[in-house]
Structures are given as C-alpha cells and as structure tokens.
Structure 1
Amino acid sequence: MTDRPFIRRLRRTHSEAAALFYLAICAVLLVWALVATMGDDSGESMAGVIPLLATAPGSLVVLALPDDPLWFIAAVALGAEVNAAVIGWCARALGRGDGPGPAS
C-alpha cells in the first residue's frame, strides 16, 4: 500500500506538539460541553458555544446543519482538525526559519 501525499502531510502536521495540544484542548472542551448539556434539564445550556468558538471558523458549518448532537460533534471535530493542520503547518514553517533574511 502506497503512502499518499495527503495522508503523509496530515501525519506530519499532526506530529507537532502545538497541534496535538490544541486537539487535546478541543477534545476536553467538547466532552465538557456534552456533559454540561446533558446535565441541564432546562434545555437552555450554552455550553456548546465554547467548543464552537474554539474550533471556528471550520466548526461554524454547524449553523447550516440539522439540529442533532452528532452533527455538532462532527462540526467541532472537523473544525479542530482543520485548525490543528494549520497550527502544525505554522509551527513547521517557523521551525524551519523560512522568514526573510537579516537586513543588510
């Protein structure tokens, strides 16, 4: 089985510590929001807003999806993955030192 360039790039991006730390924070926020929402009998919990904002702009697609907890989880997971890929790419670029050279 050949290793596809997209999968290789995704694996390399998610191997950065900053991206893994971000994904862990998003997972904790998502679990907290689900527990807080299930524990609220009034149905007026706003706990779901926190993971949505933490994974925006990718997770804001949930506004167009049907009102279902599975769609909410999928939108937050998708937003977290996209943002983690961007964070990993930025961390790699900063680590390489691809910035402009010193001014002469």
Structure 2
Amino acid sequence: MTGSGRSLLHRLRHVLGDVVALVYLAICAVLTVWAVVVSVYDSSGESMAGVIPLLATAPVSLVLLVLPDHAAMLVLAIALGAVVNAAVIGWCSRALRRGPGPGPKP
C-alpha cells in the first residue's frame, strides 16, 4: 500500500485508463504490427521498419536494447517502453485536466 491507500497496480490502471494514454498505446501497437509485417515480407533482410516503433517508445525502449539480440527482445523492449511512456502520458494528462491545485500562498 502507498501513502494514499492505493496500490501501485491500481494507480497504474488509473493512469493507463486515460484516453490519451490509450491512444498512444494503440498507435504503438499499430506501428509494431506494421514493422513486423514489413520485415516478414522483406526478402532482402535489410528492412529498417523496426526502428520506427523503437523510436516511438523511446527512451525506455532504447535502454532495453541491451537485451539479448533476438526479435522477441525487440518486441519486449517496444512493449515495455510503450507501457512506461503511456503511464507518464496518462499521469500528465490527468494532472493537466485537474488544473492547478492549492499551491503555496505568497
């Protein structure tokens, strides 16, 4: 439990339930599926389509690129990067919608 009485999982579900975060996750999923399809049908083996979803989920996905060299690890890095970025986007969206709270009095 945290100080406000909510578990970490409940808070994560709360920020990931934001519309802006869900749109970001959907865009990342579409980019990832597109990159996989383009890479599978590229007979030359020189497709750079995987870079697009990787950059869309930076900086977390770039940090996770140190994982072992395998296609599944690339997808894992993109997925974790998308979830972390969506949580930050959801938190920011809710904070901006909430507006200024009681701040320090001058």
TM-score (norm: length of structure 2): 0.87
Q: Contact between 2:65 and 2:77, CA under 8 Å: does it hold in 1?
A: no
User: Letter of the aligned partner of 2:29 in structure 1?
Assistant: A
Selected match of 2:72 from 70, 73, 92: 70
Match of 2:84 in 1: 82
Q: Which amino acid aligns with 1:85?
A: A
Q: Which residues of structure 2 form unaligned runs of 5+?
A: 1-5
Distance 1:61 1:14 in 2: 22
Give the C-alpha shift of residue 62 in structure 1.
Answer: 4.0
The answer to whether the 8 Å contact 2:65/2:74 transfers is no
Going from structure 1 to structure 2, the CA distance change for 1:95 and 1:36 (only over 3 Å counts) comes to same
Give the total of aligned pairs: 99
Q: Could you state the TM-score of these two structures normalised by the residue count of structure 1?
A: 0.88
29, 45, 58: which is aligned to 1:27? 29
8 Å CA contact retained: 2:57, 2:85:
yes
Taking every aligned residue pair, what percent have the same amino acid on both sides? 65
Give ranges in structure 1 of 5+ residues lacking alignment.
none
Counterparts of 1:47 and 1:5, CA distance in 2: 38
After superposition, give the CA deviation of every residue in 1:35-85 in whole Å (9 maximum; x if it has no partner).
Answer: 100111111000000000000001113431222111011000000000000
